[in-house]
Amino acid sequence: MDDRALIARVLAGDSGAERLLYDQHVDGVYRLAYRMTGDDDLAREYTQETFIRTFERLDQFRGDAALSTWIRAIAGTVVLNGLRKVKRFRQREVELEEGVAHAATARRAEPDLKVKLEQAIEDLPAKYRMVFVMHDVEGYTHEEIGAALGMPVGTSKAQLFRARARLREALSDFAGEWAS
């Protein structure tokens, strides 16, 4: 069933079509949310929010792009907004509990490539991280990223370039790992 027919059935109140739409797109949304958060609860929350908004606004889908692109765009917005809230919350937690900051420092003192890479990716600005995860981890094209995040293809490429440059700098202690 193509997107247009599926949407028509959903808008007509066909609950089977709702489930079909969900099944067709949920994996990609959850994977992206999990890659961005590393947290099952948050990934579930963002995925659920994405589909709630999708169903709520489906009557506004104009069909200019594929349905998958439109849903990814909603997911991108939900995840980025959600991460901002989480970041603010965590910043406050760290400010309140000095011990957390000490623990984080201690972790950074044990340079293991995997840990360092994860930390470096997490330290990227949310938008850079989103582009990096979508392109280098989930295999999206720049055209798909641009459509999903509402940015020109050139911006997507530039943000990926900057993200990689930051990671390269953060991982400079491990240069031998890829130079050899």
Partner 1 sequence: MSDDRFEDFLREAAERYHVPPEVPREDMWLAIAEARRHSVPRSRRPGWRSWGIGIAAALAIGVGIGRLSVLFNEDPSVAATPAGEPSEIPVAYRVAASEHLGQVEVFLTGFRADARTGGPVTDAAPDARRLLATTRLLMDSPVANDLVLQDLLEDVELVLIQIAQYDARPGRGEFEFIDESIDQRSVLFRLHSAIDADAAGMPYQGAL
Backbone φ, ψ for residue 67 (5° rounding): -60, -40
d(CA 60, CA 11): 11
Please check whether residue 55 is in contact with residue 101, taking contact to mean a CB–CB distance below 8 angstroms: no
Taking the complex as a whole, the smallest distance from the CB of residue 168 to partner 1 amounts, in Å, to 6
Binding flag, residue 151, partner 1 (CB under 8 A): yes
Please check whether residue 36 is in contact with residue 79, taking contact to mean a CB–CB distance below 8 angstroms: yes
Nearer to partner 1, 56 or 143 (CB): 56
Segment interacting with partner 1 (CB under 8 A) among 4-12, 93-101, 104-112, 129-137: 129-137
Residues 50-109 that bind partner 1 (CB under 8 A): 51-53, 55-57, 60-62, 64-65, 70, 73-74, 76-77, 81, 84-85, 88
Binding flag, residue 140, partner 1 (CB under 8 A): no
Segment interacting with partner 1 (CB under 8 A) among 5-13, 35-43, 93-101, 102-110: 35-43
For residues 128-140, one letter each, b for 16 or more C-beta atoms within 10 angstroms of the residue's C-beta and e for the rest, the string is: bbbbbbbbeeeeb
Distances (CA, A) of 14 to 27, 65, 141: 21, 23, 33
Taking the complex as a whole, the smallest distance from the CB of residue 7 to partner 1 amounts, in Å, to 13
Distances (CA, A) of 49 to 25, 63, 119, 156, 168: 13, 21, 27, 25, 34
d(CA 147, CA 65): 8
Segment interacting with partner 1 (CB under 8 A) among 6-14, 100-108, 149-157: 149-157
Give the interface with partner 1 as residue ranges (CB under 8 A). 19, 22-23, 26-27, 30-31, 34-38, 40, 43-44, 47-48, 51-53, 55-57, 60-62, 64-65, 70, 73-74, 76-77, 81, 84-85, 88, 113-114, 117-118, 121, 132-133, 136-137, 149-152, 155, 164, 167-168, 175, 177-179
